[in-house]
Amino acid sequence: MKGMKLSQLLLCIFLIGEGLISILGLKFDGIHFVMGGIALAAGVLPFLDK
């Protein structure tokens, strides 16, 4: 159980990082912004769900 939570935490951190890189990076075309937003939301949601 604890290992699963750790892997979920790492996945969330990865998704948040990916989202921020996609949104804040030099890629301001639509698809990266949308995918970055989705990745960021997917990374943040588990923390809000407590």
DSSP string, 2-28: HHHHHHHHHHHHHHHHHHHHHHHSS--
4 within a domain of the structure (yes/no):
no
Examine residue 5 and state whether it is found in any structural domain, yes or no: no
Containing structural domain, residue 43:
16-50
Q: Which amino acid is at 13?
A: I
Distances (CA, A) of 42 to 9, 47: 12, 10
Kindly state the tokens that stand for 20: 């921020």
Instruction: Report the predicted TM-score, pTM, of the whole model to 2 decimal places.
Output: 0.53
3-state secondary structure of 45: helix
Domains held by the chain: number = 1
Kindly report, residue by residue over 15-33, the tens digit of the pLDDT.
877 777 776 766 556 677 7
In the prediction, which pLDDT does 28 show? 58
Q: What is the pLDDT of residue 1?
A: 44
Q: What is the mean pLDDT of the chain?
A: 72
